[in-house]
Amino acid sequence: MPVTQFDTKEKYRYQNGFDSHLESEAIKGALPIGQNSPQKPPYGLYAEKLSGTAFTAPRHENKQTWLYRILPSCAHPPYQPSPSPPASSDDADATAQWAKGEKLHYIPNQLRWDPFDHDESKHLDFVSGLRLVAGAGDPVVKQGLGMFVYAAGRSMDDKSAFYSADGDLLIVAQEGDLDIRTEFGWLLVRPMEIAVIPRGVKYQVHLPSGPVRGYALELYQGHFVLPELGPIGSNGLANPRDFQPPVACFSEDCGATASEGGGRYTVTVKFNNALFQTEQAHTPFDVVAWHGNYYPFKYDLGRFNTIGTISYDHPDPSIFTVLSAPSSVAGTAVADFVIFPPRWLVGEDTFRPPYYHRNTMSEFMGLIKGGYDAKRGGSGGFVPGGASLHNVMSGHGPDAASHEGAREAELKPVKVGEGSCAFMFESSLMMGVSEWGLRTCKKVQEGYSEESWGGVVTHWKRPEDKEVRSHLLE
């Protein structure tokens, strides 16, 4: 069945489509007809344009949405640097990631992490529970990306909101449900679902099933698109109809006017990797209607249509790309989001796990559930909630035990990954590892490379009566 069977039942309605021009109204007649900004929008609403690209971006790349809200977003006091959290060592480490200019460590070694704790994150919400693990580039010039993990034990306050001016956030839920209220409406994001919150969109995260843990990628550059299908044809991989944007839902808490002060709702913004806050009298979630192609959405990874060989050899993992953020170089991505779901392997005379590889791209992998067919699990292995990073040109591939098993396996049709799903954030950029990711989290598996490949067996046998051809001219 091409859908995931979730433990938590869906409770919201959605629209369907990727990069489609959609419209939604919580009250009939709230959307103006035939124009975007009438002199007096319906019901006394304010028209506000949210632009995800420059006005003059090519039509096929232009991202914008018109919002019809009770009060405009500009009605707030000035933002101030966010106050520091309580002075405990854990919280101090947590805020270090937001400091502009934090040193990143650029190293060629293969890295793997044990599952990131959430037991120590009971007092954190989604925003304060984000941890930068690796990244490259600079949000100031809108280039690059950041790779995060998150762990949280409490919901954000009902009178709070967060947005990032730095980039679009792709969230990969690994444990626990995220009930996300956005300006556009609600998204319920469960393990085996992902969500994308575009740059500038305000949201609030609730935890209806208890503590949560997962991964996130913040894209400073451009926006995610569906990969081109080329000779595959017009269907396959992630299909546009399976992406689910929300329907409009609003609150009427207008509060006092901006001139009268107030300060009941706290809005936090991530701006050049620093946090700023303001307090305003009215709710940020007052959008009664909207239309456009710039909006948050979610996607069920169980709907991904995998493509593979039916003859021989192992196709490149790019055939598992769900979303891509292209760079200016054709065929090269700032970020690809790739998954390895349950799939059939049938290749003849083929080593079926991922081949040994050195890549010009950086590969950050995580495991949502189950096991991964190219790595051992269990204590000290690659397990759900953990991660690995194979940086630019760092050799990697199946560990020794996985290789030997695959080398001797009977080559009959087999379905791998039952009950499992791994994913990869892949980037053409060289990744720097944060101080938190390298040392503070204390989750790096020392000896990962030696344990994985130190025991690789030499199978080389020199043929008898065969001379080695000289490389010298006669």
Determine contact, residues 155/206, Cβ cutoff 8 Å.
yes
Which phi and psi (to 5°) does residue 296 adopt? -75, 160
Which two tokens mark 221? 């550059």
End-to-end CA distance of the chain: 65
Q: Which of 314, 403, 459, 471 is catalytic?
A: 314
Which two tokens mark 266? 């706290």
Residue count of the chain, please give it: 474
37 in helix, strand or coil? coil
Which two tokens mark 70? 């009770």
Determine contact, residues 64/23, Cβ cutoff 8 Å.
no
Question: Hey, which residues does 396 pair with through a beta bridge?
Answer: 357
Determine contact, residues 387/337, Cβ cutoff 8 Å.
no
- Of 412, 391, 387, 427, nearest to 148 by C-alpha is 387
Q: How far apart are CA 339 and CA 213, in angstroms?
A: 18
Question: CA dist 331 to 218, 348, 392, 427, 470, Å?
Answer: 21, 29, 17, 12, 40
Q: How big is the CA angle at 135 (ends 186 and 334), to the nearest 5 degrees?
A: 75
- Of 244, 169, 210, nearest to 13 by C-alpha is 244
Q: How far apart are CA 115 and CA 117, in angstroms?
A: 6
Q: How far is CA 39 from the centre of its chain?
A: 40
For residue 406, the surrounding DSSP H or E stretch is helix 400-408
Q: How far apart are CA 51 and CA 408, in angstroms?
A: 56
Question: Is 448 labelled a binding residue?
Answer: no
Which two tokens mark 61? 């790349």
Question: Is 68 labelled a binding residue?
Answer: no
Question: Is 120 labelled a binding residue?
Answer: no
8-state DSSP, 438 = I
Whether 314 is a known active-site residue: answer: yes
Instruction: State the pairing for strand pair 160-164/265-271.
Output: parallel
Q: What is the signed CA dihedral for 366, 372, 378, 380, rounded to 10 degrees? A: -50
Q: Looking at 170-311, list the stretches that DSSP marks H as alpha helix, in order from N- to C-terminal side.
A: none
Binding residues for homogentisate: 372, 396
Binding residues for Fe cation: 357, 363, 396
Binding residues: 357, 363, 372, 396
Residues assigned a catalytic role: 314
